[in-house]
Amino acid sequence: MSDERVTVGFVGIGRMGEGMVRNLLAAGHPVSVYNRSAARAEALAADGARVAASPADAAAGAPLVISILADDASTEAMTTGPEGIAAGLAPGGVHACMATISVELGRRLAAAHAEAGQGYVSAPVFGRPPAAAAGALFVVAAGPEDALGRCAPAFDAMGQRTFEVGHDPVMANIVKIGGNFMLASLIETLGEAFALTRRYDVDPDRFLEILTGTVFPAPVYKIYGEMVASDRYEPAGFKLPLGLKDVGLALEAAQARTVPMPIGSLVRDQFLTALARGYHEFDWAGLGRVCAEDAGLPVRQEGEDAGLPVRQEGDDAELPVREGGE
């Protein structure tokens, strides 16, 4: 939409950030990168990125700085801490936070930047590392008009589409949080439905084929359905404790506005049960195991999986991954 080339600071070079930076560079934006463990940042130098010494250094001289870090704590530390983004960003500069963070932190970051005469945009994404590498992320963005305008060229370079949802940054945070809650609910729903049908001897692969072949053709049903049908949850795409954390973000935001979310509460308890059983390394689809066990079902064996369909490339482009470098 815009061919303006703004200089971009970029903080947090994880599996997501790597692809995003490459796409910014490819679109002609000079990028100044910072990551806590420097090796990941340095790997991008070959592509033309400048390696910064601190978040403040990455932000210095850039009209726009993007961050995508692992969680609230690291985002806050790298933004408002000493040597943080806010310390380096010039007045009038804009910080776009693309991680999945709490509404409460979104609010604090907006306030901190406003106090420093800087702009702030929340812009979490739907998508995983392959989508980040392909420039095919979906960006959900909210913030003041002019700050959004500043971000547009960068968002265009990294994503296939940007959805602007309002001028209060937390509106983007809540949309992302709401979307992840819906995925968690879908997983628990699959868990219960497969437990029910398995107890009536219906072949799980057949049941999945029917679901995705009739009423539920979306890729998410295929991806999570395959994990639940096969009863295998490793290696994880998005680990179970992260699922608990994101549902926690939803419940916290809901409580602040007196929104009861009974499915959210229930899913939270299921995640806790899963962790009490030691499933920390499972994908968050591992709720399927909890449901199966609670129905008295044995773990499904490899041999039973004969007909398991092959996952196709790109199917899971929109699913959550924990963002962020270290």
**Active-site residue list:** 176
284 binds its own copies (CB under 8 A): no
Pick from 48, 68, 43: which is nearest to 320 by CA?
68
Pick from 96, 156, 86, 153: which is nearest to 124 by CA?
96
What is the total count of residues that contact its own copies (CB under 8 A)?
79
27 binds its own copies (CB under 8 A): no
Positions 190 through 229 that interact with its own copies (CB under 8 A): 190, 192-193, 195-197, 199-203, 206-207, 209-211, 213-221
Positions 95 through 114 that interact with its own copies (CB under 8 A): 103
Give exposure, 49-61, as e/b (b: 16+ Cβ within 10 Å).
Answer: bbbbebbbbbbbe
174 binds its own copies (CB under 8 A): yes
Cβ atoms of 84 and 53 within 8 Å: the answer is no
Which stretch, 1-9, 64-72, 148-156, 248-256, contacts its own copies (CB under 8 A)?
248-256
Q: Which is nearer to its own copies, 88 or 264 (CB)?
A: 264
- Shortest distance in whole angstroms from residue 61 CB to its own copies: 34
10 binds its own copies (CB under 8 A): no
In this structure, the chain runs to a length of: 326
Positions 28 through 57 that interact with its own copies (CB under 8 A): none
Which stretch, 30-38, 48-56, 57-65, 176-184, contacts its own copies (CB under 8 A)?
176-184
Mark residues 127-146: x for contact with its own copies by CB under 8 A, - for none. -----------x-x------
CB half-sphere exposure, 76, CA atoms < 13 A? 12
CB half-sphere exposure, 14, CA atoms < 13 A? 18
Query: In Å, how far from its chain's centre is CA 31?
Result: 22
Q: Which is nearer to its own copies, 139 or 147 (CB)?
A: 139
Distance, in Å, from the CA atom of 127 to the CA atom of 193, rounded to the nearest integer, reads 26
